[in-house]
Amino acid sequence: MDLMKIFKDSYHIMAKDLLSLRRNKMSLAALFIMPIAFLVMFGFIFPSGNTQTHMPVGVVNLDDGSGSTQFISQLNALNSNNSYLNLQNFTSTDAAKTEINQGKLYGTFIIPPGFSYNMSHGQSADVVMLVDNSNPQIASQIEGVTANTITMMNGQQAVYNVVNMSASTGQSVNPQAMVFPYTPNIQTTIPGQNNYFNFLAPGLMIMIVMMTVMTGIPEAISKEKEIGTFDGMLSAPINQISIILGKTAALCVRGFGQCILILLLAVLFFGVTIQGSILLAFVMLLLGIFSFVGIGIVAVSMSEDQASGTMIVNLLMFPMMFLAGIFYPLQQMPWFMQDIAKVIPLTYAADAMRKIMLLNANLGDVITQVLILVAFGVVTMAIAVPLFRRSMTR
């Protein structure tokens, strides 16, 4: 068969499909709203790992010494830097507890009597933190913030003590090195703060392309079958492969348009930094399409009409969307889910996309994923194409 003719016919079919799409204002609008909705929706509803700020917390001072006053002023000074807490003073434990029960406070510090006495007599002074753990997420955040704050205050106090001791004994020391012998210096592969969108954007791009192509193939082909235009193409002297190629190409153009939109939004509004080659990323997208387009073709070959074709595809697509590690890292899933994820091509495509875009990985770094995707594509296409040919002349 004349290869040039196949490509030319595919091109004509693609151009025809895109022209039809351009005339259809509604689907054109939906095409661009979908990626925006996905990015905003998933970007904001999933836990981002950031700690809440201005959490209302009470302070009950039952001590009458100067130690507790100093403690509270240090607490206030620290908090005014990061504003995690919104501190309010209460005169009794009961008053604070009432506020907690009414949901106005997340928890309260209680400084017990004898706090100053313990401090001035060389003992550790207890501070009670009463946490409302009826909301476990907030409780763990409060616990974290409290532990952090107290650790910092301990450090400050220790530095102050060391300075006093060295002055009284006449030794010259570096109090910072005495109290904090180890200082962590955290560096990241991606500059800037941790950002969930960095994780989300590459996966979302490949997922959008998958959705567009996989739902698009059964939709486009069944629709033409139903309105009758398919007979016009099949009775023309063209290879049936041209129809698959042309339709897929048209859907790729749509999917790439959506990807570019996601990329722009992610960079401009969600602080995503792209370090890798965009070109390689799009090559990866193409490879991803090759690996799962076969599934869409099998679906359309096995179904009689548009509704059942779309249903089969949705059935396959939804688990793929959520199990492929697009929204959560795979490592957070239970082991059996991770095993399922291993047989989904989207997993490898998303993983490779992330490495390429965020870590500037080259083709050699993601060769395993590439080979798996190629193998997946070859196998599904080997099943899909004969099935499609047979279904055409049923």
Binding flags for another protein, 235-264, as an x/- string (CB under 8 A):
xxxx--------------------------
Please identify, using beta-carbon distances, which residue of 17 and 63 lies nearer to another protein.
17
Q: At its nearest, how many Å lie between another protein and the CB of residue 238?
A: 5
Please identify, using beta-carbon distances, which residue of 166 and 239 lies nearer to another protein.
239
Contacting residue, 64, 94, 126, 231, with another protein by CB under 8 A: 231
Please identify, using beta-carbon distances, which residue of 64 and 231 lies nearer to another protein.
231
Residues between 8 and 37 that touch another protein (CB under 8 A): 8-9, 12, 16, 19-20, 23-24
Contacting residue, 57, 142, 214, 233, with another protein by CB under 8 A: 233
Q: Which stretch binds another protein (CB under 8 A): 4-12, 146-154, 156-164, 208-216?
A: 4-12
| 330 in contact with another protein (CB under 8 A) | no
Buried-state track 176-210, b at ≥16 Cβ within 10 A, e below 16: eeebeeeeeeeeeebeeeebbbbbbbbbbbbbbbb
Structure tokens at 338: 């991770």
Q: At its nearest, how many Å lie between another protein and the CB of residue 14?
A: 11
Q: Which stretch binds another protein (CB under 8 A): 129-137, 228-236, 339-347, 378-386?
A: 228-236
| 305 in contact with another protein (CB under 8 A) | no
Please identify, using beta-carbon distances, which residue of 124 and 235 lies nearer to another protein.
235
Please, are residues 198 and 190 in contact by the beta-carbon 8 Å criterion? Answer: yes
| 129 in contact with another protein (CB under 8 A) | no
Please identify, using beta-carbon distances, which residue of 19 and 147 lies nearer to another protein.
19
| 4 in contact with another protein (CB under 8 A) | no
| 3 in contact with another protein (CB under 8 A) | no
Number of residues this chain uses to bind another protein (CB under 8 A): 22
Q: Which stretch binds another protein (CB under 8 A): 3-11, 32-40, 182-190, 317-325?
A: 3-11
| 136 in contact with another protein (CB under 8 A) | no
Please identify, using beta-carbon distances, which residue of 232 and 334 lies nearer to another protein.
232
Binding site for another protein (CB under 8 A): 5, 8-9, 12, 16, 19-20, 23-24, 227-229, 231-238, 393-394
